[in-house]
């Protein structure tokens, strides 16, 4: 049997086995889909079966650049000013406070731990610690969307969760982009090396220039097929330019998405095209990430993973509660509303892959492993955690004398099978 045919058969068999298993779990236990693709990439990668060699993984660079840029463009497309100005100022205060608390606490703990474990200087440990802080801030809205569809909540709590998820993504991308700008390797041909601020401005300017090019050639286009081709071309250009300059393609593409949705008349069509393609690109990125993964060469890798998971969970829940209390929103949001922000998804994988390709930063395999473990574990629990926050809020709004048929049901066993199928599709569409 030929090697290409063997590869196709292995991929199909592995995909079916993994997908069927995780589909069954997703229907019954509210597990977000995606882990099977990461597992598939790991099994096919050079660290396990060797079906996909390291050279072949490197040849996927254009697809990886497109996936990274697409993830950033998705984040930017959610930042539409006409919708953002309708959100109360207190919601943004809570979201930014929770994001910054999580960022700095996880960053500080990991900085101290990496210095102590690996005998790093502060400058050497700064890169991986700040990257982990940025990863900790990011929250996926998949579990929130799943729980919202189930309980039908449309009050202040759901609005705050959506606002916080968008702000979390923005802060995470900006922090990671500034990290790459600040640790940019020196360019011998330059008489004066650029500062962190100048590299950050260049990273933003790449996205703005990409938005200008899109308007120049496809400004009035509304057909979906041409929009997809033009968006893919410009995103590859933006992410490729950022990658070539050793900057963050996710950050450049995020500002490209911001420019598009705030200056285009067809912003709804653009958002629909971006959302429609993000699922297959995310799964491709998961397979590439699984094939790229290598065990950390550091013997003490377990402790940083545990510290990250525990510190992130504590700061997300505690920081959300503190931010709500300081802004007098704790009665409306509840003391444990931060649990719904614990889920992570494609953005963290994209940032981790971006970090893995930066040769100048320390501990790339360890940082990548922490990101993968966090995405897998929070994906298993994000739907349940969001439901545990929204279900009590929905029950509190239900009149005590409501009939059992009208009262929202919090148990999975009481949800019709058709609703479970609908929720599974919501999970996959909001990766």
35-55 pLDDT per residue, tens: 666 777 777 776 666 666 767
Q: How far apart are CA 324 and CA 332, in angstroms?
A: 9
Q: What is the average pLDDT across 342-363? A: 86
- Considering the segment(s) 60-397+408-429 as one domain, its CATH architecture is Up-down Bundle (1.20)
412 pLDDT exceeds 90? no
CA 4 centroid distance within chain: 33
Q: How far apart are CA 400 and CA 202, in angstroms?
A: 58
Three-class DSSP category at 419: helix
82 pLDDT exceeds 80? yes
Cα distances (angstroms) measured from residue 277 to each of 74, 113, 238, 357: 10, 39, 18, 24
Q: What band does 94 get if pLDDT is binned at 50, 70 and 90? A: very high
Q: Which residue has the higher pLDDT, 87 or 379?
A: 87
Lowest mean pLDDT among 25-29, 130-134, 399-403: 399-403
What pLDDT shows up at residue 264?
78
Q: What is the average pLDDT across 161-183? A: 92
Q: What band does 13 get if pLDDT is binned at 50, 70 and 90? A: low
Residue with structure tokens 């004398």?
401
CA dihedral 51, 53, 57, 58 (to 10 degrees): -170
Query: Within 10 Å of residue 337's Cβ, how many Cβ atoms?
Result: 25
* Percent of the chain scoring above 70 in pLDDT: 76
Q: What is the average pLDDT across 313-335? A: 90
Segment (H or E) for 187: none
Q: What is the average pLDDT across 256-265? A: 86
Q: Which residue has the higher pLDDT, 225 or 114?
A: 114
**What integer best gives the mean pLDDT of the chain?**
78
What pLDDT shows up at residue 420?
43
Query: Within 10 Å of residue 75's Cβ, how many Cβ atoms?
Result: 26
Q: Which residue has the higher pLDDT, 14 or 296?
A: 296
Q: How far apart are CA 334 and CA 370, in angstroms?
A: 30
- Residue 167 has phi, psi (to 5 degrees) of -65, -40
What pLDDT shows up at residue 425?
45
Q: What is the average pLDDT across 336-344? A: 86
CA nearest neighbour of 175 among 135, 221, 215: 135
Q: How far apart are CA 284 and CA 278, in angstroms?
A: 10
Q: According to the per-residue pLDDT averaged within each range, which of 57-61, 144-148, 204-208 is highest?
A: 204-208
Q: How far apart are CA 429 and CA 294, in angstroms?
A: 29
413 pLDDT exceeds 90? no
CA nearest neighbour of 289 among 360, 183, 375, 176: 375
CA nearest neighbour of 318 among 102, 139, 162: 102
Query: For the chain, what is the total number of helices (H) and then of strands (E)?
Result: 18, 0
Lowest mean pLDDT among 49-58, 153-162, 309-318, 417-426: 417-426
Query: Within 10 Å of residue 415's Cβ, how many Cβ atoms?
Result: 15
Burial of 156 (0-12, 13-18, 19+ CB in 10 A): middle
What pLDDT shows up at residue 181?
92
Q: Which residue has the higher pLDDT, 309 or 190?
A: 309
Q: How far apart are CA 394 and CA 283, in angstroms?
A: 33
Q: Give every CB contact of residue 172 below 8 A, 6+ residues apart in sequence.
A: 99, 134, 135, 137, 138, 347, 348, 351
Query: Within 10 Å of residue 69's Cβ, how many Cβ atoms?
Result: 32
What pLDDT shows up at residue 12?
59
57 pLDDT exceeds 60? yes
1 pLDDT exceeds 60? no
Question: What is the length of the chain?
Answer: 431
Lowest mean pLDDT among 98-102, 298-302, 325-329, 416-420: 416-420
Q: What band does 302 get if pLDDT is binned at 50, 70 and 90? A: confident
DSSP state of 94: H
pLDDT tens column, 119-156: 888 889 999 999 999 999 998 877 777 777 766 655 78
DSSP state of 184: P
Where are the domains positioned within the chain? 60-397+408-429
């Amino acid at each position: 049997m030929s090697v290409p045919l063997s590869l196709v058969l292995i991929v199909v068999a592995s995909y079916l086995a993994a997908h069927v298993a995780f589909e069954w779990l997703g229907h019954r236990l509210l597990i977000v889909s995606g882990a099977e693709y990461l597992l598939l990439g790991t099994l096919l990668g050079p660290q396990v079966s060797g079906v996909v060699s390291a050279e072949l993984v490197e040849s996927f660079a254009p697809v990886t650049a497109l996936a990274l840029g697409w993830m950033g463009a998705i984040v930017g497309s959610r930042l539409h000013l006409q919708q953002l100005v309708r959100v109360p100022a207190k919601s943004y205060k809570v979201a930014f406070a929770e994001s910054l608390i999580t960022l700095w606490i996880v960053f500080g703990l990991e900085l101290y731990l990496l210095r102590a474990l690996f005998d790093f200087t502060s400058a050497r440990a700064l890169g991986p610690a700040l990257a982990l802080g940025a990863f900790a801030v990011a929250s996926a809205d998949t579990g929130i969307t799943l729980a919202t569809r189930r309980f039908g909540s449309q009050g202040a709590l759901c609005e705050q969760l959506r606002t916080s998820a968008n702000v979390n993504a923005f802060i995470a991308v900006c922090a990671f982009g500034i990290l790459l700008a600040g640790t940019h390797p020196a360019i011998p041909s330059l008489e004066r090396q650029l500062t962190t601020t100048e590299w950050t401005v260049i990273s933003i300017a790449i996205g703005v220039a990409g938005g200008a090019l899109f308007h120049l050639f496809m400004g009035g286009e509304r057909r979906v097929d041409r929009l997809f081709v033009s968006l893919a071309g410009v995103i590859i250009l933006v992410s490729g330019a950022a990658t070539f300059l050793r900057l963050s393609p996710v950050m450049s593409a995020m500002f490209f998405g911001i420019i598009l949705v705030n200056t285009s008349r067809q912003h709804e069509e653009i958002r629909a095209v971006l959302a429609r393609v993000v699922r297959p690109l995310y799964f491709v990125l998961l397979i590439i990430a699984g094939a790229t993964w290598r065990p950390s060469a550091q013997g003490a890798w377990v402790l940083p993973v545990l510290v990250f998971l525990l510190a992130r969970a504590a700061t997300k829940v505690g920081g959300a509660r503190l931010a709500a209390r300081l802004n007098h929103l704790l009665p409306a949001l509840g003391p444990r509303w931060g649990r719904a922000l614990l889920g992570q998804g494609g953005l963290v994988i994209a940032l981790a892959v971006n970090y893995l390709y930066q040769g100048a930063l320390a501990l790339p395999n360890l940082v990548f492993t922490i990101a993968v473990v966090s995405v897998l574990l929070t994906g298993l629990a994000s739907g349940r955690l969001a439901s545990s926050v929204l279900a009590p809020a929905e029950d509190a709004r239900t009149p005590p004398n409501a009939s059992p048929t009208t009262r929202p049901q919090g148990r999975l066993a009481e949800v019709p099978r058709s609703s479970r199928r609908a929720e599974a599709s919501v999970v996959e569409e909001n990766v």
